[in-house]
Amino acid sequence: MPTLRNEQAITCMGVQARAFAVHAADSGRILNQTIKARRELPEAGSALVVKLRFDDDCRNGHESFSITADEYTRGRLDSCGCLHERIAEVFPEFAPLIKWHLCSTDGPMHYIANTLYAAGDRDPWGRRDGEPASFAHCVTFGDNPIRHVLKKSFAKYLEEFGPPCKFDFEVIAVPHTRDFKTFGNKYTFGGYACKWHECPFNSEREALDFLEALQRCAPAFGTVPTSYSTGKRRELDMARNAAIWPEASDETLSQHPDKLRQMLEIRLPGLLAEFRAAMDGAGFLWPTAR
């Protein structure tokens, strides 16, 4: 594993820091590249340690940038992670880097998908407020508007034998396997549901009446909505963060997803050039593997 740079003290954006050894794969992919800076806080024994990374530490083929911190209070670790507000307060020099958190050499994490979802008004399944979310299978008979809801598998079975078939089924009794006296028989049509708990009819009369309706009353199969989506509220500030596009207007982010996708694709090369300039300015090495 080649060493591109040895550990050394550096000045990172005007802050005295420690740059650790930079290691790379033979392909040129940077595997480890970390810079740390520590600043003492007013309370005795308290400090904020900022950790900057720009490498493929996750081994996923993408060098990604992260900015995190550990805060110590009276010598003990008090908090850690993405303490971005605290970092900006204690290290204002690093504030311009915060927007690049989790951006990689290919762009912000899930750049287009995350931006479109956050900016959109559709639920995770692509449905807007008021659009059907689930359906029940049903059958109607002739001009009778009443829908008879069916189990999905039973509806599919019947549709296979639908008009012009004559629904020439045999009604079969299926006993309960363990407690016949308590539960009695259930009933099904030949070829469907040979297990007691899967049978569609509770009595022979019910099965015979349904069979007669299938044979004589012009059955029509379909679906009926049983629930509706509430959609999703647009999270435009989240979309701006996902795209690293703080100047994007509400109107821009709220346009049709296809148009927004196109705009995101067009601006990506310029965004990556800006990202590279930020990494260079912080003292990081840019990978040669592409």
* Per-residue model confidence (pLDDT) at position 162: 67
12 and 119 belong to one structural domain: yes
Domain stops at, among 228, 248, 269: 228
pLDDT in tens, the chain (290 residues): 789 999 999 999 999 999 999 999 888 899 999 999 999 999 888 999 999 999 999 888 889 999 999 999 988 999 999 999 999 999 999 999 999 999 999 999 999 999 999 999 999 999 999 999 999 999 999 999 999 999 999 999 999 886 667 899 999 999 988 776 678 899 999 999 889 999 999 999 999 999 999 999 999 999 999 999 999 999 999 999 999 999 999 999 999 999 999 999 999 999 999 999 999 999 999 998 65
Which residues, in sequence order, are CB contacts of 249 under 8 Å at separation 6+?
A: none
What three-state secondary structure class fits 267? helix
221 and 248 belong to one structural domain: no
223 and 238 belong to one structural domain: no
141 and 67 belong to one structural domain: no
Give, for 77, the enclosing helix (H) or strand (E).
strand 76-81
* Per-residue model confidence (pLDDT) at position 37: 98
Domain stops at, among 211, 228, 245: 228
> Is 67:84 a contact under the CB 8 Å cutoff?
yes
Q: What six digits make up the tokens of 271?
A: 């965004």
Euclidean distance between CA atoms 59 and 3, whole angstroms: 17
* Per-residue model confidence (pLDDT) at position 247: 96
Euclidean distance between CA atoms 27 and 1, whole angstroms: 10
Full residue range of the structural domain in which residue 192 is found: 135-228
115 and 251 belong to one structural domain: yes
Asked, for residue 290, whether it belongs to a domain, the answer is no
> Is 53:1 a contact under the CB 8 Å cutoff?
no
* Per-residue model confidence (pLDDT) at position 164: 66
Asked, for residue 263, whether it belongs to a domain, the answer is yes
* Per-residue model confidence (pLDDT) at position 107: 96
72 and 148 belong to one structural domain: no
Euclidean distance between CA atoms 37 and 35, whole angstroms: 7
Asked, for residue 219, whether it belongs to a domain, the answer is yes
Domain stops at, among 186, 202, 228: 228
* Per-residue model confidence (pLDDT) at position 178: 79
- How many domains are there within the chain? 2
DSSP codes joined into one string, 160-173: HT-TTS---PPEEE
118 and 211 belong to one structural domain: no
Q: What does DSSP assign to residue 96?
A: G
Asked, for residue 289, whether it belongs to a domain, the answer is no
82 and 117 belong to one structural domain: yes
What three-state secondary structure class fits 246? coil
Asked, for residue 172, whether it belongs to a domain, the answer is yes
DSSP codes joined into one string, 48-60: EEEEEEEE-TT-S
38 and 161 belong to one structural domain: no
191 and 80 belong to one structural domain: no
Euclidean distance between CA atoms 146 and 222, whole angstroms: 12
Euclidean distance between CA atoms 119 and 233, whole angstroms: 8
144 and 217 belong to one structural domain: yes
